[in-house]
Copies of this chain bind each other. A is one copy, B any other.
Amino acid sequence: MSTFGTHFRVTTFGESHCKGVGCIIDGCPPGLALTEDDIQPQLTRRRPGQSNLTTPVRASFRDEKDRVTILSGTEFGHTLGTPIGLTVPNQDQRPHDYTETDLFPRPSHADWTYLLKYGLKASSGGGRASARETIGRVAAGAVAEKFLKEAYGTEFIAFVSSVGKVAMPFIEEQSESGVPSDEFVEMLSTVTREQIDAEPTRCPDKEISKKMTQRIIDAKEANDSIGGTVTCVIRNVPTGLGEPCFDKLEAKLAHAMLSIPATKAFEIGSGFGGTQVPGHLHNDAWVQKTGRKGQKVLGTKTNFSGGIQGGISNGENIYFRIGFKSPATISQEQQTTSYGGVEGVLATRGRHDPCVVPRATPIVEAMAALVIMDAVMIQLARQGAASLLPPMPETPLRPAPFIMSVPGGQAIKVDEASKPKTE
């Protein structure tokens, strides 16, 4: 339905032709510094009309568009711990009039399935299938992101990795070798949102970005559309996140990403490519590393697992890629059939987004932040409860060489005597 999350629980409302869209965030920790200024930037990154590559909006609205208001849940610039109501008004609040075009469900649109589901025909066709629905998610994600940044330094960076057949080199490389290249892994650790926003395509590779731009313009000029993929990395992820067996962290991420309009595919870590690689090459060897605060931690030499093992985060970067299909709305005539079963030709007019992936990046970041935030809170509940118990006696559950207090989730120490004989 329209609620996502258990602890940090977001409920959204609104479609294209009502008074507004927005959300309620329930369960936000109290004491987080938060004003509209923390939320607006991601909404602005999401909104249409940012470049000639995305849906144009009328100039006069541009500066005013998609302004968020916090209705409740904060005082003096800090969260109270109570529900945060957020709204963004719609510019065009009138439902459409009925036209003969409405007799034809648009191909690959949600018109027909919304009618099947709800038994009526809203103005917008597939009302909540519109991209406008994502405003509430992006607003809520910005709050989660801010918390995670302050609490753990966690960073969410999504960028466009392909448009049509124009792809960043790592995709081609991996389709050959099966596993991500070192350059790709390095890029994931260093790429910034600034680099990404410097390109209208939101692809940080300037050369590829130029080609992508041309590919999108070609689609636009042909009254056509084109799909693409978005890659996202999450850095400084707390360990121990994810709830087996059904709510493994990758399962929640896949759920979150496939709930974004127009998505068709998701892969994490080595993904589909990794299925071709034998175990002795695919396994990520453990190595000692230095943590964010200078402490010794275990990490992995390679990261084909994508930062998650057994459904639980291991502290390495989490990265995944999402496939977005080409937008269904095109200005070409399309041969199709009416609700009544009469064959005909449908032509839709108006300004459409020839390619959604540039604008999708903040939505991906938002959904990723909502998943991580919720997982953090449930793990904090477990750790908090376990920490109240008396220490366990020595058993194979807690063998002598281990000191099992994992308070920050990173600090398991091992006695010097544990030097293993197997080496």
Contact = CB atoms under 8 A, between A and B. Distances in A.
Contact of A381 (B97, B229, B380): B380
Given A254-B257, A310-B129, A335-B285, A323 B274 contact: yes
Contact of A402 (B121, B285, B397): B121
Copies in the complex: 4
A27 B7 contact: no
B278 A389 contact: no
Interface string A244-272: 11111011111111110101111111111
B275 A323 contact: yes
Interface stretch (A37-45, A183-191, A204-212, A324-332): A324-332
Interface in A264-307: 264-272, 274-280, 282-288, 296, 298, 300, 304-306
Contact of A259 (B30, B246, B257, B298): B246
Contacts of A300: 107
A100 interface: yes
A241 to B, nearest CB: 8
A405 B119 contact: yes
A401 interface: yes
B95 A396 contact: yes
Give the interface centre of A2, A127, A247 by most chain B CB atoms within 10 Å: A2
Interface in A66-88: 69-78, 80-85, 87
A246 B278 contact: no
Contacts of A20: 71-72, 85
Contacts of A286: 104-105, 107, 112, 336-338
A385 interface: yes
A3 B23 CA distance: 13
Given A164-B278, A246-B3, A423-B342, A76 B397 contact: yes
Contacts of A345: 422-423
A65 interface: no
Contact of A342 (B85, B266, B383, B418): B418
A308 to B, nearest CB: 8
A347 B12 CA distance: 42
A399 B102 contact: yes
A219 interface: yes
A116 B267 contact: no
A20 B128 CA distance: 25
Given A18-B73, A108-B282, A251-B259, 19 more contacts: A1-B9, A13-B24, A20-B71, A31-B119, A78-B120, A82-B127, A96-B396, A108-B279, A115-B406, A116-B412, A121-B404, A147-B389, A150-B390, A162-B276, A164-B278, A227-B274, A275-B325, A283-B330, A345-B423
A259 B248 contact: yes
A355 to B, nearest CB: 10
B396 A339 contact: no
A380 B387 CA distance: 11
A18 to B, nearest CB: 4
Interface string A1-36: 111101101011111011111101011011111000
A193 interface: no
A344 interface: yes
Nearest to A418: B340
Contacts of A378: 7, 381
Contacts of A274: 227, 264, 323, 325-326
Contacts of A82: 2, 13, 15, 118, 122, 127-128, 244
Contacts of A396: 75-76, 95-98, 102, 121, 123
A343 interface: yes
Interface in A153-176: 162, 164-165, 175
A240 interface: yes
A266 B254 contact: yes
Nearest to A20: B71
Given A1-B243, A2-B26, A244-B2, A275 B324 contact: yes
